[in-house]
Structure 1
Amino acid sequence: MGSVDRWAGGVFAPGHLGELTRIVPFEMVDEVLAETRSAQRRVRRLPSRVVVYLLLAAGLFEGQGLGQVWARLVSGLEGPGWVPSSSVLAQARRRVGVAPLRALFDLLAGPPAGAVRWRGLLVCAMDGTTMSVPDSPANLAAYGHQSGSHGGSGYPLVRLVAVVACGTRTVLGAGFGRFATGETAYAPELFGCLKAGMLLLADRNFAVKALVAAIAGPQGTGADLLIRCKSNRPLPRLETLADRSWRSVLGGVPIRVIDAQITLTLSGGGHRTGHYRLITTLLDPRLHPAAEIVRLYHQRWEIETTYLELKSTMLGGRVLRSRTPQGADQEIYALLAVYQALRLAMADATAGGGLPADRASFTVALLAARDQVVHAAGVIAGTVIDLVGQIGRAVLDNPLPARRDRSCPRIVKRAISKHRAKGQVDRTNHRATLTIDILHPPELTPTPSP
């Protein structure tokens, strides 16, 4: 029949991810099943390896039930085959459990070879988001939901915190759980993916003494930090540097503080000005000039784009399928694993094709991957290994336009009410010219007497 039949025939034939099977090969799936003791004890009509690939494929087809995803896995295979019922699929999911999907994501997580670096540092970003799960009593008890005078969230919410490599947007680590637990409480779970040679970007929520010490302190991860903090946060000024940045200390960690005024001159006329205070463990202004650091901090938005791709492009804004916490955990790890596999395929293509990583279209890659699953195509490499493949060629043939500076209003673009909101709101995305002025530091803080 084809490569699928020769490589995984019989009951194992539906177990594939199209061309992405090269990144998530059979050996990898069998290894995590063995390590987590989740492999079947006897050969079933729905082996554990096939169930894992079914869950991964479900991440590519989030708007469809598992029965419909199964139909796409077998549509490129010869013969009508066996069609499992919904109860059989549910039992198979429970049998496999969460552990193999978590182990698989852990194996895939990390930056690709040749990831983009800034002055020798791998730039990463940490932030959190929420994902909605079905409104079942079990999910509500496990995750909770947002409350408030506005009525709160209609569905239970899972809080997700991740570390993403800027540029390639590959995921280095992720943790999730109850909504009531804050982002900074999940952050220590991700410290294992941080190491020397990395620069971690984060927003004001992470400018916490304990986190700064745990990441960049003497017993920390070895990674450097670049975090925004409140512009009026009191920090002692110990020394003024040549580029107007100044040295201070936070949580016992020596830091450098940069106060900057950023002005956006808009194409539609007018301008916007804001005051930003950044703290970093990059202490030498000659190696890491203040103006470059301020521009670099904009890369923190790469993780926001990652969450957009997960929640909007892949999920289509929909609620996850699973009505149990175990099923939801399993589904989230599968979603993260297949997202990472797509990102690794895109990174391989752009690295070899001379295209900047930020011009690779995730939507194009996702659609190409879906086609490869439906046709059961490119499951294994032929005698000549093609690292780019159909997904990579689609990405290279349909690049995004070069990135430009823009000012995007932080407002709801699709209103929940048909009635006009009060006041006039400019909803236009303007092209913008960015001007950065490093501000004079505050008065020198006297060194306290012993």
Structure 2
Amino acid sequence: MFAPGHLGELTQLVPFEMVDEVLAEAGGRERRLRDLPSRVVVYLLLAAGLFAELGYRQVWARLVSGLAEPGPVPSSSALVQARRRVGVAPLKALFELLAGPPAGAARWRGLLVCALDGTTLAVPDSEANLARYGHQSGSHGGSGYPLVRLVAVVACGTRALLAVRFGPFKTGETSYAPKVFGCLRSGMLLLGDRNFAVRDLVTAIAATGADLLIRCKNSRPMPRLASLPDGSFLSTLGGVTVRVIDAEITVTLSGTSRRSGRYRLITTLTDHHRYPARDLVTLYHHRWEIETTYLELKSTTLGGRVLRARTPQGIDQEIYALLTAYQALRLAMADATSAPTALSADQASFTIALHTARDQIIHAAGIIADSVVDLIGTIGRAVLADPLPPRRVRVSPRIVKRAISKHRAKGQADRTNHRAAIAIAVLSGPELTTAQAP
């Protein structure tokens, strides 16, 4: 009866005891033994996060395909009732247990670099979902599906989730952001885009003991309290002493054309000797790793699909299951790349890890750990065997890659990926301090 309750090799990261404990604390455990025990339902939900293109009955078929005695196939109505019985709380508790940076995560000059940003997830267009979440409005009449707004903090490098909050689309990112600051600690550096350069948010981040590196508008007035030798200067924002870095970044494409842009960064790392301005400008590029995380969730895992549930409770349950499965996969990848002689975390392919994890579920393999602990496992070995090449400095034009219409749009667009050389100039009044980026 409990045999279908597994997640393949990832069950070692989400063991039976952990699932049973969150069910007991959240009150989701069954009062009598059922054909669909709550533990099995939790693993079904987690597996569904890795098989986003399938319905729950098809996910069930994959959970039992590697078992010698698969047992009866539950009906769709039985699966619906079982998911309702389990509820949201156990999945939320399970995600919160797994959330956090992996052991031995890489640091930058002693700091764990994280990124903060938001995204949206499309949900079925039911009356209940539309009433709860709402959709994007505009001159086009609104989006076709209700949208969930999600804000997360992600560890750069491993791209593990540290904290997540989500809810109605009409609530902005800056309103959700304070709810994820509980994961911040001293020894962490938070990267954010211009949307988060808000006085109250800067004050709240500084109060956690963490440092910040956030872009703000170039035109934003910042009083110059003291000038520093590297071209930056000290100022205040929200009662917090910050260092302001004005920089010009020039991208040379294929040795010919050039594009330049001005950037202003604010940071609480005021020691210009330990944290030179040019190094911080280069480091800020890693903020894009949270965009890659959302790509892995929304495109690689979900395949651009709308979530399944037609009720808000079902959506909350499904999102927590999706995030928990993603986090377990990321922790497995981090175990594989944590050895000093292993790959950089940036070279670990999420796509390979995802498909290997799916295979392990179908084969019902690696569910119970052997007497000899294997931290890398089958997923880790697959990632190490086929690493991504080191990322090259290339620039692609910001154009629509897949148009709404199948007919050719008017005009020509340059779709070439150009090799690029990047130069950073820290601006200090009339003087420029220039360095070639690595």
Q: Same fold (TM over 0.5)?
A: yes
Q: Could you tell me which of 263, 284, 289 is aligned with 2:271?
A: 284
Within a 5 Å distance, the mapping from 1:121-136 to structure 2 comes to 121-136=111-126
Within a 5 Å distance, the mapping from 1:171-320 to structure 2 comes to 171-216=161-206, 220-267=207-254, 269-320=256-307
Q: What is the letter of the counterpart of residue 20 of structure 1?
A: L
**Does 2:93 correspond to 1:106?**
no
1:328 Cα shift?
0.5
**Equivalenced residues, count:** 430
Equivalent pair of 1:346/1:392 in contact (CA under 8 Å): yes
Q: Could you tell me which of 392, 397, 404 is aligned with 2:380?
A: 392
Q: Could you tell me which of 395, 398, 409 is aligned with 1:421?
A: 409
**Does 2:334 correspond to 1:376?**
no
Equivalent pair of 1:259/1:441 in contact (CA under 8 Å): no
Moved over 3 A (4+): 419-424
Equivalent pair of 1:246/1:441 in contact (CA under 8 Å): no
Equivalent pair of 2:234/2:242 in contact (CA under 8 Å): yes
Equivalent pair of 1:132/1:158 in contact (CA under 8 Å): yes
Question: CA–CA distance in 2 between the matches of 1:442 and 1:228?
Answer: 22
1:360 Cα shift?
0.2
Equivalent pair of 2:23/2:90 in contact (CA under 8 Å): yes
Question: CA–CA distance in 1 between the matches of 2:255 and 2:141?
Answer: 38
**Does 2:83 correspond to 1:96?**
no
Equivalent pair of 1:18/1:373 in contact (CA under 8 Å): yes
SS in 2 for 1:432: strand
Provide the aligned C-alpha RMSD in A.
1.2
SS in 1 for 2:428: coil
Within a 5 Å distance, the mapping from 1:151-166 to structure 2 comes to 151-166=141-156
> Which residue of structure 1 lines up, in the alignment, with residue 40 of structure 2?
50
Q: What is the letter of the counterpart of residue 183 of structure 1?
A: E
Question: TM-score, normalized by length of structure 2?
Answer: 0.97
Question: CA–CA distance in 2 between the matches of 1:303 and 1:32?
Answer: 28
Equivalent pair of 2:5/2:44 in contact (CA under 8 Å): yes
1:442 Cα shift?
8.6
**Does 2:397 correspond to 1:409?**
yes
SS in 2 for 1:298: helix
1:422 Cα shift?
4.1
1:441 Cα shift?
3.9
Equivalent pair of 1:21/1:380 in contact (CA under 8 Å): yes
Equivalent pair of 1:237/1:442 in contact (CA under 8 Å): no
Question: CA–CA distance in 2 between the matches of 1:113 and 1:420?
Answer: 50
Question: CA–CA distance in 2 between the matches of 1:79 and 1:380?
Answer: 18
Question: CA–CA distance in 2 between the matches of 1:250 and 1:282?
Answer: 14
Equivalent pair of 1:268/1:430 in contact (CA under 8 Å): no
1:269 Cα shift?
3.1
> Which residue of structure 1 lines up, in the alignment, with residue 31 of structure 2?
41
Q: What is the letter of the counterpart of residue 391 of structure 2?
A: R
SS in 1 for 2:176: helix
Gaps of 5+ in 2: 432-438
Question: CA–CA distance in 2 between the matches of 1:406 and 1:161?
Answer: 28
Equivalent pair of 2:116/2:153 in contact (CA under 8 Å): yes
Given the superposition, is the C-alpha separation of residues 318 and 438 from structure 1 closer, same or farther in structure 2, using an over 3 Å criterion? same
Q: What is the letter of the counterpart of residue 263 of structure 1?
A: T
1:418 Cα shift?
2.7
SS in 2 for 1:384: coil
